[in-house]
Structure 1
Amino acid sequence: MQTVETLIEKLDYLPPEQREDIRRAYYFAEQAHEGQYRRSGDPYIVHPLAVGKILADMHMDAQSVEAALLHDVIEDTHVSKEDVTGAFGEIVADLVDGVSKIGAIKFESKAEAQAENFRKMVLAMTKDIRVILVKLADRLHNMRTLGVLHPTKRRRIALETLEIYAPIANRLGMNNIRVELEDLSFSHMYPMRSARIKKATKTSRGNRKDMVSRIQEAIENRLDRDGLKGRVVGREKHLYSIYSKMKTQRKPFNEIMDVYGFRIVVDSVDMCYRVLGAIHNLYKPIPGRFKDYIAIPKANGYQSLHTTLIGMNGVPIELQIRTEEMDAMANNGIAAHWLYKSDPDPAGGAQNRAKEWLKGLLEMQQRAGNSQDFLETVKIDLFPDEVYVFTPKGNILELPTGATPVDFAYAVHTDVGNSCVAARLDHRLVPLSTPIQSGQTIKIITAPGACPNPAWLSFVTTAKARANIRHFLKNQRRSESVSLGHRLLDKALSSFDLALESIPPDHITTALTEAGFKTLDDLLEDIGLGNQMAQIAARRMLPHDGEATNPDSNKPKPLVIRGTEGMVIALAKCCRPIPGDSVMGHLSSGRGMVIHRDNCKNIASELKDNPEKCLSVEWAKDFVGEYAVDLRVQMENERGALASLASLISQADANIETINIKEKDAHLSVVSLRISIRDRVHLAKTIRRMRTQKAVNRIVRVRN
């Protein structure tokens, strides 16, 4: 049975008084968990003790180990955060609270609870990074003892680990923990696949022994000959990485295991490059497979030289060359900061990178609509395969593979992303959806009045860009809805000879209370989105003695539409109205107002069923833009007739968006066209121009 003494023995790197505090924390936790047992039948205290040992192996500080021993007392016992603060101080209590789940709130679904717990943990992480280290150690021990649970629950926890905790460990550079979490998750999610790969790996290890030792000997001999010091170790692929490669590269097990991995650990950065030269003289490198992560470290602080060589008998060899500090950093990541405290902080860079990442998470959390949005956003952010690009000033920025100039613009600054209109890749103008390649120089062109386009969401890859675009569009839609709602309410009030500004504040407050809104803007937004009738809101605001005013005595003027309303006024696709047409507006719930031609079948049926949702509108005099119109043209089958028709449309300064031809009979064809024009006058000119074509018999504008 494990005892607190086995933990204390591991803590010989801490001063005696801190070890006493940890012993005290153990007895406090043991008392709090008295009478509680794990599914395996062991006393509950076994779990916090194991988590403490994992952190002790990382040489974590005393407060982290205390938090590990106490991490379940707030969540699972009668002990409160105040009790922990009184006994062990505020810092330890905050760490324990950050790791604890939200117990009191009842959520509608497991997914929502998981997302909210994750959000809470991220907020705690941004205050103190040690929260996530305690949480990872907690998850690691839970994964090691998952076998006693029901298979369905095992799979759910394993999937959560693969989707969230293993990528976080990777993001913080903690390779050892990531590998173990991935392999444990794999074995619980796919026990048979895991067992078969494990067996095949054992068999192949025996077959490969001879080749591995020959390659290792050749590398060691070359280093000795050139007077270079370094230790050469064979690299084992872990089960989950073999499985992932088989799945993504669609290769059989034999082809994955054909590659031999080695690592050379040396004592200085200079030596890394000298060893690289010697090895490239020994075996031929494969072009394009060399990566220098020493000059440009990965986001999680990982540094190494990677190269792939063709060895004896044409065998591919993957080689990593790094220093001892880089090796420690690669295996322990941010935890190397505590593990190698005596050094001048090799993990300082990783600490800063982790803080930067957490700062980004905090920003995303503030902009995300809800916890589930946030969790999905973070998942996208946790799987980066990086490309490295240059700013015009020569600074290096790191982005995930598949990133576009829009991602780059948001990585530089939110305002740059919001006002981005075009981009130059290596001085060439490219579409904003172009994927960026490593080594390219990017210049973003901005314009003062520009704003994000909803279509960007279909191609951006970074979480920051996605969160900022969504946030902007949500706010923009609100401001547009408020503005339209204001105009609709003013129009409704004008039939009572009133304006919104002239209504006493207490009447507005009463109307808001009746309708269940906190602010006037909330009411206006609801009216603008078509969820609330402006006429009803107007009647609620009337002075009680003003009821006598006859709303029909002076007919309200139609609402003027200008085309600058944005997303809350849409032109109906059924009848495709254009400036100059006689039109009606229909308030569509959640979408705002949809404009139809007044002879459209759909508006006729709405007028019959919901007359209060239809209102008269008219085009503003200065309405500008391009509008799609559907035309049906009946023409004779003559050679070159279609080409000359297209030419006539172009001469009329109109643009063909789509074209479709069906043969009616041996002599006639029907051409369905969608053209973009400015207004009715422009349409009439275009049709007149088209009629000059002799082959054209009839032109009809399509309605519905």
Structure 2
Amino acid sequence: RYKEGGKAGARDESFERRLNFLRRLMEFGQETVDPAQFVSTMKSEVFPERVYVYTPKGDIIDLPAGATPIDFAYQVHTDVGHRCSRARVNGREVPLNYQLKTGDQVEIVTTNRGGPSLDWLNENLGYVKTSGARRKIAYWFRKQNRDKHISAGRDVLERELKRLGLLDSMTFDSVAHLFNYERVDDFLAAVGAGDINGGQISKTILEGERKDRESEQSLLRVTKPKPSVSVDVSNGVSVMGTDGTMVNLARCCSPMLGDKIIGYITRGRGVTVHRADCPNVLNMPEQEKERLIDASWSRVSQEQRYSVPIAIVAYDREGLLRDISTVIADEQVSMSAVNVNTRQNIATFQLTMELSSMSQLARILSRLENVSSVFEAHRCNPR
């Protein structure tokens, strides 16, 4: 007990408490002949505000007066408290809100699964006396709810990114930073708790994309000397380092205004512009990647339209195609290449829309998902 450093101090303090306890017991034991009087005196005069109970192995647990088997369980170990299901005192089963008395031997019966009950935090029910046990129970529930909120938030964010076709090109961290969250789990928990909804996520992502484009265009305007630039006015794409070259949008990934893009110098067909997350670009052989070239959106006219492949999944019903067509018609959007596949009462629509912007895409997808029996509408990933 005289060693210093490490955990010796904690061990000495515990040892002193036990030693003092035994000394006091010995003093009263020497002065009292009747065992019943000894216990009564110890309860009323020595430790009036504490109870001292025993584990099945004979260890002494010090608790405040009014403590219950649940307090005892948490004093033994947090996990024992969390998994406490029943209690026996002096070999007899008692309710969990039973008030322990000095000299009781307490045995806790645990379960392999489950956790504490919310009733334990209800002061009117008298399950918990100690602040330590109450704190551990409350933390357990906060952690459980946080885990659920993070999981739910992850589902919401994945759904929004999938709807916009950005699931493979935008990270959760980048979205969290748009909302000024440093930790992505904190952001997901806020989404899962309903503090941030899917509409806010889409709006903020699109606003971030717009600001990025404006920053890129401002940088291009002030950079000197200007590099040779090829601008395809019909598509609104600027390709750095070329001049007078034909520019086409790739059909494999159908890039649209707002997507991060990259150019590929073809053999004899000018420059093909892909989405930056297009599998054909990502899986390109190393020697072919030498043909990749920077590209950005520029000088886009309001009349510009982009062919965007959309998938709609719904429970099949009469009038479903009509209701979907009505939404598209209300948006004054052209639709082509419609393909419908029905299997086990699930209808999957593959269609191509002519859209002008990401915001229009987000609005149409939201309206489509509000159609009765439709449970998913999203932009198709690059193939």
TM-score (norm: length of structure 2)? 0.44
TM-score (norm: length of structure 1)? 0.25
Kindly indicate which of the two structures has a greater share of residues assigned to strand.
2
Kindly indicate which of the two structures has a greater share of residues assigned to helix.
1
Determine which structure has greater relative contact order: mean sequence separation of CA pairs < 8 Å that are 6+ residues apart, divided by chain length: 2
